Structure 1
Amino acid sequence: MDRLTEMEAFAMVVDQGGFTDAARKMGISKSAVSKHVSSLEARLGARLLNRTTRRVNPTEIGLAYYDRARRVLNDAGEADALVTSMQSEPSGLLRISVATDFGVNHLSPVLNEFLSDFPDITVNMELNNRYVELISEGFDMAVRIGELEDSSLRARKLTETTKRMIASPAYFKKYGRPEKIDDLNAHKLLHYSNQSSGNVWKLTAPSGEKRQVRTAGWLSVNDGQSLLNAAISGLGIAYLPSYLYGDAMEKGLIEDAIPALPFETHGIYAVYPPGRFIQPKVRAFLDFLARSFAEKGPSKW
């Protein structure tokens, strides 16, 4: 008899707790399931199941064999699914999580091209600034910026962004320009209100020393675009990524607060759950993102 079929019959009996339900699940007769299991036990020279009138339970040896057999069966199922998926066109619902600022300013404008290229894919894009659990929350992918916290996820680097302190020329004219990090204590700072670290900026001094600035300001808000607008209007100094302020700086609406400080550079990544193969819809979107942002960053936005 086929060894894989014997394994499948045995594992199904353990999963279902009996031959009758296992036969129904496999779509074969109860006697056929019994023959497969008996053949397996004869070939291995060991009893794998304890049979009673009401229930079938694995023996100690059977339980150990079940664990290995289930892995083999799962791998075989993945192999079949891989072949099927690689031959199919990308389709289905694609759920992605993206930081609000990046999604609004850079991902939303290019989605039309992706959906035009792959009409059988529908996208559900959730814009938020919280850390989502991809697997438990049912997301196919997320775009994350900065250091990756979860090393179990697979990641593809798309580009980079710099992060600088910026303010309007009008602000510097009225309040002066800080020359060093310590001067920030005398300035009006604009903060993200949803940062876990609170109103703290992590900066690098020209010497390479890592510094933390904890100073209250006139405004805290949970939206980067609002902080940029506030900085442009002259309310204070904001600490923002280049993908958000790049256009405003090019137009002269804002300037670098302390140009002498080293640039803080952060990677922008597409992350997705681990697995032995990538679904066509996920692969298609990964490749699309890589093409879309190949010429972007860290300061070209």
Structure 2
Amino acid sequence: MSRIDTHCHVVPEGWRKWCEKYGWRKPDGIPAIPAWSPESHIELMDKISISKSILSITSPGTYLKADGDELAIKVTCETNDEMAGICAKHPTRFGFFASLPLPNVEGSLKEIDRALELGAAGFAIMTNAQGYYPGDSKLDPVFAKLNERKAVIFMHPTECCTPGHAGVPKALDQYPTPMMEYFFDTTRAVVNLLLTGTVDRYQDLTFLVSHCGATIPPLVERFTAFSTQILGQKDSPSSAQVKKLFRTRFYFDLAGFPFPDLIKGYLTFGEPGRLLYGSDFPYTPEKATILLSEKMDEGLRELFDEEIIKNIYSGNAKEILNM
């Protein structure tokens, strides 16, 4: 069954060199930035019936040093140009989510229009930008602009950033950030979007959340009740309102290890019509990507009929990306 991959990554040579220059040879504790080429990616796609992949830059994004606005703008522009060039050479196989130099607002506003002119399918933002989470008032002009353009926003997890605490080791620093912390930072980002009213204010945005909702499912009742009943925030959404937003404004990809357990948590608040295929290649190596795709086939068949699975693998992505 043909798939459209909305959660996979590209490693442009220019971006790799910038990362290496500014100390990101082992981003978020992983052993290395993986090797990547269009040819190797297409070879993998053909092995597991991926018709098209929407490429994006993963953590650490394009803001590579503290207070480095000018550098971030330069890296972002160059990287988006590189992605657009790759897609132009392989238009039937690749699309891309453009990066933004967040938390720099002015640079991001300029890059939104430019990236869409390059053909971006949407925008990839990290779950926090130098400690600023989606929903922070500092970023409101950017979300307003994205809303004007009816943008698709792919939120990719990154390392939790705590400004002012340089040199303090992260909790359980012996484990790579993607192992657990990515899930926690995804949850922070989504909860902040909801509790700040950002999702409700900007009605024309579509949000793509990584990893089948991360640790959000068991926390919906807690963060909604806590904000209203304990903090007394009358404007905060109820549990029912949040679940409605998840069914109307959000999509959730199946990258990583959603089977056999995580998918069950997702289904407590989400619907199969909001699920998307994701491989996380090449940060998930080819052998593991193939094994996970087989496990996904098996897990989906246990839960859903053929038509629903077809939509999860490609139909839902076609709808949101106007393919």
Identify whether the pair has TM-score above 0.5, normalized to the shorter chain. no
| More strand, by proportion | 1
Decide which structure has the larger Cα Rg and report it. Answer: 1
